[in-house]
Chain A
Amino acid sequence: QKEVEQNSGPLSVPEGAIASLNCTYSDRGSQSFFWYRQYSGKSPELIMFIYSNGDKEDGRFTAQLNKASQYVSLLIRDSQPSDSATYLCASRMDSSYKLIFGSGTRLLVRP
């Protein structure tokens, strides 16, 4: 079992809809969580990070963290075809520098 689990998808949503991406983690020592977007053959691009329980909003993106349930999510409002990519969830413990990635969820936004 991977430390960070994601549904591989693809998750298909129509343009303008809300895309909901989910991630669970197994190590309760994980303190920080990151969402990266990766286009095929390109590098991961930071979308959002979250450290505290609750919601964090940045433009069309909202990250949600529930440490009791060990659950992280990313909502993308008003999805655009350009949002079509693989979304990687990553965790990090305070005692470590490394990011532990999930396998990623492929998002497809249909025009």
Chain B
Amino acid sequence: AAGVIQSPRHLIKEKRETATLKCYPIPRHDTVYWYQQGPGQDPQFLISFYEKMQSDKGSIPDRFSAQQFSDYHSELNMSSLELGDSALYFCASSRDSDTQYFGPGTRLTVL
């Protein structure tokens, strides 16, 4: 079965640079979620989109923004990167607000 696709899988950036993470949901899933997981931490919810509209917002820094496009893929844009932004970033998708399935994640390292 098709799964959530995330790209890139690994990303290395310098402080104050920008990064864009992409997420392609499971076919026919209309809801996308972004989570951040720091080392040794549990996943923290950042933001979600349902039918291209923001549906919920968590602890997402103002330096981050996200959107969902007409083909339901989503992008997380991160600016003015800080060392503390180094983490695994997971995208999950669901059909409506049903069970969430996670992608493989993007490992972001900020130097």
Contacts and interface: CB of A to CB of B under 8 A. Distances in A.
Interface in B44-94: 44-45, 48, 50, 55-56, 58, 88, 90
B105 interface: yes
Interface residues of A, number: 19
Q: Interface residue tally of chain B, by bracket?
A: 20 to 34
Contacts of B50: 97
A44 B102 contact: yes
Could you tell me the dominant secondary structure of chain B's interface residues? strand
Contacts, number: 49
B101 A97 contact: no
Contacts of A96: 56
A97 B48 CA distance: 7
14 contacts: A36-B102, A42-B104, A43-B104, A43-B105, A46-B99, A46-B102, A88-B42, A97-B56, A98-B48, A99-B33, A99-B35, A99-B43, A103-B41, A104-B42
